[in-house]
Amino acid sequence: MKISLDIELEKAVRILAKYLLPSKENSRKPILMHDLRVGMHLYENNYSHDIILAGVLHDALEFSEITEQMISEEFGENVLRLVKANSKDRSIENSDERIEELIKRCAQTGEDALIVKVADTLDSFKYYTKTNNQSELEYCRKTTGAIFKYKSEDYKDPIFEKLEEWINKL
């Protein structure tokens, strides 16, 4: 099973690299590296095949020319469902409302979708702490607040404890 996951993971990285626009020097964060770190965090912590692939692809619909159809055909409907749950609704102009809607949708989609969002948020916390980007750290705090607001009490995965540790550190 591990070899097939590695092949699928490599395919996801190749597709991202092909369709994701290169990050610029003044980018908030280099998106390809962020997506790889999120996926690798999930991989190294032995999450499921679909969670890992969704972690790598979580920004694909927002920041690349990758389509829902491409994700579905290459990685299946469940990966697409997790990626869609983790994609911001850009039609919502108010940032706080957009965060609330996104996290609520992840929580409604299920624990797997919220795990991907937490891995995304953890990486963002780490990156923005290193770069001392206070406005993005505030965005991470708001996202974390929404995660704990909408997270089901049944969700006991250790990743939620890691997120709580980060929020308590800051």
CATH number at residue 37: 1.10.3210.10
Element (H, E) at 120: helix 111-130
User: Coil, helix or strand for 41?
Assistant: helix
How many domains, in total, are found in the chain? 1
Cα angle, residue 84 at apex, residues 80 and 89 outer, rounded to 5°: 160
Domain extent at residue 50: 2-169
pLDDT one-digit tens code per residue, 9-53 = 999 999 999 999 888 777 778 999 999 999 999 999 999 999 999
pLDDT on residue 30 = 92
What is the largest distance, in Å, between two alpha-carbon atoms of the chain?
43
> Average pLDDT of each block of 10 consecutive residues along the chain (170 residues)?
85 95 79 96 97 98 96 98 97 96 98 98 96 95 97 96 90
pTM of the model: 0.95
pLDDT on residue 1 = 53
